[in-house]
Structure 1
Amino acid sequence: MKLCLRFPSLAVALALASGCIENPVATTVSPMKFGVALEDAEASAAADFAAVKAGVEKAGLFDEKDLFMSIDAVEPSKTDTKSGKWPRVARFEILRKPELKVVVGTFDLEKASVIESREVMDVEPWLTDGELLEDIQRVALADKGVQDELERRGIPRADQERRVRVDPWATGARSPASKHGQRLARCLFFEKSSEGTYYTHPIEGVTALVDLASETVLSIEKDPNLYPVSSRARLLSSEVARAGALRPIESRMPEGVSFTADGNNLSWWKWKMRWSFNAREGLVIHGATFDDADGKPHDVLGRGSISEIAVPYSPSSPTWGWRCAMDEGEYGLGRCSTPLTPGRAIPGYAKTFNCVIADEFGEAAIKEHAVAIYERARGPLWMHNEEWPAETGYAVTPMEQDRELVVCTISTVGNYDYLFEWSFSLSGAVHLRVSLHGILLSCGTGDKSCVECREPAAAGDTLLSRHIVEPNIDAPLHQHLFSVRLDLDVDGEKNSVTEEGGGGADPGKSYYSWSRRTLKTEKDSVREPGASPAFGWRVENSGKTTALGHHPSYRILPHSHGKPVIAAGDPFVEKAWFARHALAVTRLDPAQLYSCGDYVLSESPGGTLETWVADDQPIAGEDVVCWVTLSAVHLPCAEQWPIMAPVTVGVDLVPDDFLSESPTVR
Structure 2
Amino acid sequence: MTTTEVRSATHPLARLTAEEIAAAAGIVRDAGLVGGHTRFVYVGLIEPHKDDVLAFTPGDPIERRVRVLLLDRSTGDGRDVTVSVTGGAVVQSVEIDGVADGQVPILEEEFGAIEPILAEDERWVAAMTTRGLDVANVRAVPLSAGSYFEEEFGHRIIRVLGFFQADEADLPWAHPVDGVVAYVDLTRGVATAVHDHLDLPVPAERGEWNAEPHAQPTRTDLKPIEITQPEGPSFTVDGDEVTWADWRFRIGFDAREGLTLHQLAVDGRSVIYRASIAEMVVPYADPSPVRFWQNYFDTGEYLYGRFTNSLELGCDCLGEIHYFDATFAGEDGTPKTIANAICMHEEDYGVLWKHTDLFTGMAETRRQRRLVVSFFTTIGNYDYGFYWYLYLDGTIQLESKSTGVVFTSAFRGDEHPYATEVAPGLGAPYHQHLFCARLDMAVDGRVNTVYELDAVRQPMSAANPYGNGFTRSRTPLRSESQAQRTADATVGRVWHVVNEEARNRLGQPVGYALHPMAGPVLLADDNSSIAKRATFATKHLWVTRYDAAERYPAGDFVNQHPGAGGLPAFVANDRPLEGEDVVLWHTFGPTHFPRPEDWPVMPVDYAGFTLKPVGFFDRNPALGVPASTSAHCAGQEPHCT
Please give the TM-score of this superposition, normalised by the length of structure 2.
Answer: 0.89
Match among 423, 433, 440 for residue 487 of structure 1: 440
The amino acid that maps onto 2:110 is E
1:218-367 to structure 2, matched below 5 A, reads 218-236=192-210, 242-291=218-267, 297-367=268-338
Report if aligned partners of 1:526, 1:581 keep a CA contact under 8 Å in 2.
Answer: yes
Q: CA deviation at 1:573?
A: 0.2
Matched, 1:501 2:454: yes
Matched, 1:138 2:126: no
Q: CA deviation at 1:241?
A: 7.4
Match of 2:636 in 1: none
Match among 103, 106, 111 for residue 127 of structure 1: 106
Moved more, 481-490 or 216-225: 216-225
Deviations 1:349-378 (A, max 9, x none): 222121011111111111222111111111
The amino acid that maps onto 1:145 is R
Match of 1:444 in 2: 410
Report if aligned partners of 1:187, 1:208 keep a CA contact under 8 Å in 2.
Answer: yes
Aligned pair in 2 of structure 1 residues 196, 344: CA closer, same or farther (>3 Å)?
farther
Matched, 1:565 2:523: yes
Match of 2:570 in 1: 612
Moved more, 611-620 or 345-354: 345-354
What residue ranges of structure 2 are gaps of 5+ in the alignment? 1-5, 625-641
Deviations 1:423-452 (A, max 9, x none): 111011110111111111111236xxxx55
Once residues 31 and 378 of structure 1 are traced to their aligned partners in structure 2, the CA distance between those partners, rounded to angstroms, is 42
Secondary structure of 2:194's partner? strand
Aligned pair in 2 of structure 1 residues 349, 200: CA closer, same or farther (>3 Å)?
farther
Match among 30, 34, 47 for residue 19 of structure 2: 47
The amino acid that maps onto 1:91 is R
Aligned pair in 2 of structure 1 residues 110, 233: CA closer, same or farther (>3 Å)?
closer
Q: CA deviation at 1:55?
A: 1.4
Q: CA deviation at 1:563?
A: 5.8
Deviations 1:299-346 (A, max 9, x none): 101111112111111111111111111111110121121122210111
The amino acid that maps onto 1:593 is R
Secondary structure of 2:224's partner? coil
Report if aligned partners of 2:145, 2:560 keep a CA contact under 8 Å in 1.
Answer: no
Once residues 299 and 598 of structure 2 are traced to their aligned partners in structure 1, the CA distance between those partners, rounded to angstroms, is 24
Match of 1:184 in 2: 157
Secondary structure of 2:127's partner? helix
Moved more, 401-410 or 601-610: 601-610
Q: CA deviation at 1:171?
A: 0.7
Deviations 1:233-289 (A, max 9, x none): 524489887121222222222221111122211110000001211111111111100
Secondary structure of 2:478's partner? coil
Once residues 385 and 257 of structure 2 are traced to their aligned partners in structure 1, the CA distance between those partners, rounded to angstroms, is 13
The amino acid that maps onto 2:227 is S
Secondary structure of 2:403's partner? strand
Once residues 82 and 96 of structure 2 are traced to their aligned partners in structure 1, the CA distance between those partners, rounded to angstroms, is 14
Aligned pair in 2 of structure 1 residues 603, 91: CA closer, same or farther (>3 Å)?
closer
The amino acid that maps onto 2:554 is C
Moved more, 482-491 or 504-513: 504-513
The amino acid that maps onto 1:130 is E
Report if aligned partners of 1:499, 1:533 keep a CA contact under 8 Å in 2.
Answer: no
Give the superposed CA RMSD: 2.6
Match of 1:646 in 2: 604
Secondary structure of 2:301's partner? helix
Report if aligned partners of 1:359, 1:365 keep a CA contact under 8 Å in 2.
Answer: yes
Secondary structure of 1:574's partner? helix
Q: CA deviation at 1:84?
A: 6.2
Report if aligned partners of 1:529, 1:564 keep a CA contact under 8 Å in 2.
Answer: no
Report if aligned partners of 1:31, 1:276 keep a CA contact under 8 Å in 2.
Answer: no
Matched, 1:93 2:69: yes
Report if aligned partners of 1:36, 1:264 keep a CA contact under 8 Å in 2.
Answer: no
Secondary structure of 1:661's partner? coil
Aligned pair in 2 of structure 1 residues 34, 196: CA closer, same or farther (>3 Å)?
farther
Moved more, 435-444 or 108-117: 108-117
The amino acid that maps onto 1:268 is W
The amino acid that maps onto 2:301 is E
Match of 1:9 in 2: none
Report if aligned partners of 1:36, 1:263 keep a CA contact under 8 Å in 2.
Answer: no
Deviations 1:528-573 (A, max 9, x none): 4657852400000011112221111000001255565333533210
Q: How many residues align?
A: 604
Report if aligned partners of 1:185, 1:209 keep a CA contact under 8 Å in 2.
Answer: yes
Secondary structure of 2:305's partner? coil
Report if aligned partners of 2:73, 2:187 keep a CA contact under 8 Å in 1.
Answer: no
1:524-603 to structure 2, matched below 5 A, reads 524-528=482-486, 530=488, 534-561=492-519, 564-603=522-561
Matched, 1:427 2:380: no
Once residues 536 and 350 of structure 2 are traced to their aligned partners in structure 1, the CA distance between those partners, rounded to angstroms, is 35
Once residues 97 and 109 of structure 1 are traced to their aligned partners in structure 2, the CA distance between those partners, rounded to angstroms, is 25
Deviations 1:463-491 (A, max 9, x none): 82111111110111111111111111100
The amino acid that maps onto 2:104 is P
Q: CA deviation at 1:65?
A: 2.0
The amino acid that maps onto 1:119 is E
Secondary structure of 1:335's partner? helix
Matched, 1:67 2:33: no
Please give the TM-score of this superposition, normalised by the length of structure 1.
Answer: 0.85
The amino acid that maps onto 1:401 is R
The amino acid that maps onto 2:390 is F
Once residues 524 and 263 of structure 2 are traced to their aligned partners in structure 1, the CA distance between those partners, rounded to angstroms, is 35
Moved more, 97-106 or 610-619: 97-106
Report if aligned partners of 1:36, 1:262 keep a CA contact under 8 Å in 2.
Answer: no
Report if aligned partners of 1:74, 1:87 keep a CA contact under 8 Å in 2.
Answer: no
What residue ranges of structure 1 are gaps of 5+ in the alignment? 1-29, 292-296, 453-461
Match among 594, 610, 617 for residue 659 of structure 1: 617
Once residues 485 and 335 of structure 2 are traced to their aligned partners in structure 1, the CA distance between those partners, rounded to angstroms, is 42
Once residues 227 and 284 of structure 2 are traced to their aligned partners in structure 1, the CA distance between those partners, rounded to angstroms, is 39
Match among 148, 155, 158 for residue 126 of structure 2: 148
Once residues 98 and 195 of structure 1 are traced to their aligned partners in structure 2, the CA distance between those partners, rounded to angstroms, is 35
